[in-house]
Amino acid sequence: MEQQQATDLSNQPIPDVYFTMEDLAQHKGENDLPIWIGCNGLIFQVSEEKREMYAPGAGYSVFAGTDATRALAKSSLNAEDLQPYGSLEGLTEKELKTLKQWEDFYKKRYVIVGKIKL
């Protein structure tokens, strides 16, 4: 059986649309809205193909509807590592590199819906 190759979205345009943290919080998977996560200033729609990974109670649900920048940089699933939202202050060089890897992963795999307005 041949495995289907995911579409590479790396070169997708970044919409010049801004969403507040309150807007982002409405996209946690607790309603019919798509699930969004924030990473390094961008918002990605992750529910199209991986809803089961980000839905309430799932492994990555801590990232759903929030700015996951710091937690992704720290490779952490702990909610306390999400704060302060969007801040790169205090992250090590290794953590910043990890964050860049996550951002590149999300850009390649998921549609960018906009930017985070902090």
Domain that holds residue 39: 18-117
Q: What whole-number distance in Å separates Cα of residue 105 and Cα of residue 103? A: 5
- Per-residue pLDDT band for 55 (boundaries 50, 70, 90) equals confident
Domain count, the chain: 1
CATH number of the domain where residue 109 is located: 3.10.120.10
Q: What are phi and psi of 42, to 5 degrees?
A: -110, 155
pTM: 0.90
Q: What is the per-residue pLDDT across 79-93, written as a single tens digit (0 to 9) for each?
A: 999 999 989 999 999
Residue 40 lies in a domain: yes
- Which single residue is written with the structure tokens 């953590």? 95
Percentage of residues in the chain with pLDDT exceeding 70? 94
**Residues 9-28 pLDDT 10s:** 888 999 999 999 999 999 99
34 in a structural domain = yes
Is 27 inside any structural domain?
yes
